[in-house]
């Protein structure tokens, strides 16, 4: 039987999600990859156990994580039943709908019909009565935002979700969505944008909106799917995400990217960190970032990513050097 480490709250840092009662761990774990029906169940289970033992109280899912679609929620449901049920009230579990999930016009995008049916399916797969956060996974340009936000509000009011969130909405869409939710009486707890040293879009207005509206942010792919680590410095390992050549493409591991990765790796070494640790620390340096949402394929990566918290401070000189490297202007 799994018994969680009784020191699990000793070193993790918790940060408040905007103006809300919820604090999230500085590092959260996402189940997009490596928790599907095709993956090794005991490895998935070991990563979740290790994460919780280190104080990671937040696990992030979506309806279509797998493969096959839905299977990450099924895996999570099985592990929850075996290991985590006594700890349910210590966990923040999120899921999402918004991308393609089932065939036909009601299994994708942003209709009320899709979002609420999908949430009911997710709850069944995970064996849960409610999720802590239900997200609209991406904006739908053809559905009135009132309808998608109305569905999130219903999810919360009906008790299927405790909080509402949005993902991949730009700054303007976020302002609108937050206002619609507020008018309905539901606060938008959190936004989930993509953010890393390689993808800095949220700095162009989104973070300002989140600050103004009191909405937290949990940033996904802070390691740029593994590129911001030492994983690809000596080629493409056969067990890596890039080897699968789908979400992270082999062509993305070109010389231009690797030159930056090598220079960043040197700065990380000077800071006494791995590059993965520095990549996590770098997103957390931003005051608008509540949590870094990492993925992992092995237990050692969970350890490494949490070890980032040992050094979150960057000097102005380090930040200047990093900006120079990212702009392709200088080496370390
Ligand atoms: N809202 C959205 O639209 C959206 C989109 C994408 C992701 N997400 C969420 O964000 C989560 C994280 O996304 P992500 O998996 O792309 O994040 P990521 O942390 O940028 O990349 C994770 C990958 O990086 C590698 N890695 C992780 N830690 C490492 C370490 N310490 N050293 C070396 N390599 C390391 C592993 O790749 P290998 O497998 O090669 O070992 C791992 O699978 C997802 O699980 C999901 O919950 C949300």
Is 329 a residue whose pLDDT tops 90? no
* Predicted local distance difference test score (pLDDT) of residue 331: 66
- Section 241-265 average pLDDT: 96
What is the rounded distance in angstroms from the CA atom of residue 122 to the CA atom of residue 144? 24
Closest ligand 1 atom number to CA of residue 220: 10
Q: What does the chain come to in residues?
A: 332
271 touches 318 (CB < 8 A): yes
Contact 210, 216 (CB under 8 A): yes
Q: Residues 230, 273: contact at Cβ < 8 Å?
A: no
Q: Can you tell me whether residue 196 is helix, strand or coil? A: strand
Regarding the beta carbon of 44 and ligand 1, being less than 6 Å apart is answered no
CA gap 100, 97 in Å, rounded: 8
Model pTM score = 0.98
Helix (H) or strand (E) holding 190: strand 188-192
Q: Which atom of ligand 1 is nearest to the CA of 221?
A: 20
pLDDT tens, 85-133? 999 999 999 999 999 999 999 999 999 999 999 999 999 999 999 999 9
Instruction: Quick: pLDDT tens for 157-196.
Output: 999 999 999 999 999 999 999 999 999 999 999 999 999 9
Exposure on the CB side of residue 224, measured as CA atoms within 13 A: 23
Share of the chain above pLDDT 90, in %: 99
Does ligand 1 come within 6 angstroms of the Cβ of 222?
Answer: yes
Does 66 sit behind a cis peptide bond, omega within 30 degrees of 0 on the bond before it? Answer: no
Question: What does each C-alpha distance from 299 to 40, 73, 108, 332 come to in angstroms?
Answer: 13, 19, 33, 30
Distance 182 CA to ligand 1 centre (A): 32
- pLDDT band of residue 267 (cuts 50, 70, 90) is very high
Pocket test for ligand 1, best of 109, 223, 228, 303 (most atoms within 8 A of CB): 223
On the question of pLDDT at 62 being above 80, the answer is yes
β-strand partners of 191: 166, 217
- Which ligand 1 atom is nearest residue 99's CA? 3
DSSP per-residue letters across 242-255 = HHHTSSS-GGGS-H
As a whole number of Å, the CA-based R_g of the chain is 19
């Amino acid at each position: 039987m799994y018994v969680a480490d009784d020191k699990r709250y000793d070193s993790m840092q918790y940060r408040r999600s905007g103006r809300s009662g919820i604090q999230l761990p500085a590092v959260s774990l996402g189940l997009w990859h490596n928790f599907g029906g095709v993956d090794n169940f005991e490895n998935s289970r070991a990563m979740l156990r290790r994460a919780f033992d280190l104080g990671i109280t937040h696990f992030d899912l979506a309806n279509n994580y797998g493969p096959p679609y839905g299977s990450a929620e099924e895996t999570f449901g099985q592990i929850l039943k075996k290991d985590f049920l006594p700890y349910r009230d210590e966990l923040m579990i999120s899921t999402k709908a918004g991308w393609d999930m089932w065939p036909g016009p009601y299994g994708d995008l942003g209709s009320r019909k899709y979002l609420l049916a999908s949430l009911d399916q997710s709850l069944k797969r995970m064996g849960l009565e409610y999720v802590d956060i239900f997200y609209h996974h991406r904006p739908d340009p053809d559905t009135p935002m009132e309808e998608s936000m109305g569905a999130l509000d219903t999810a919360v009011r009906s008790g299927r979700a405790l909080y509402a969130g949005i993902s991949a909405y730009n700054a303007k869409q976020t302002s609108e969505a937050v206002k619609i939710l507020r008018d309905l009486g539901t606060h938008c707890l959190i936004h989930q944008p993509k953010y890393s040293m390689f993808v800095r879009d949220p700095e162009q207005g989104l973070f300002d909106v989140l600050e103004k509206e009191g909405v937290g942010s949990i940033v996904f792919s802070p390691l740029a799917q593994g590129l911001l680590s030492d994983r690809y410095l000596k080629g493409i390992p056969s067990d890596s995400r890039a080897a699968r050549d789908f979400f992270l493409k082999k062509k993305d591991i070109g010389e231009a990217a690797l030159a930056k990765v090598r220079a960043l790796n040197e700065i990380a070494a000077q800071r006494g960190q791995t590059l993965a640790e520095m990549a996590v620390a770098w997103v957390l340096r931003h005051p608008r970032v509540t949590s870094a949402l990492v993925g992992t394929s092995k237990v050692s990566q969970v350890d490494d990513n949490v070890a980032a918290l040992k050094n979150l401070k960057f000097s102005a000189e380090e930040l200047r050097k990093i900006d120079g490297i990212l702009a392709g202007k200088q080496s370390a």
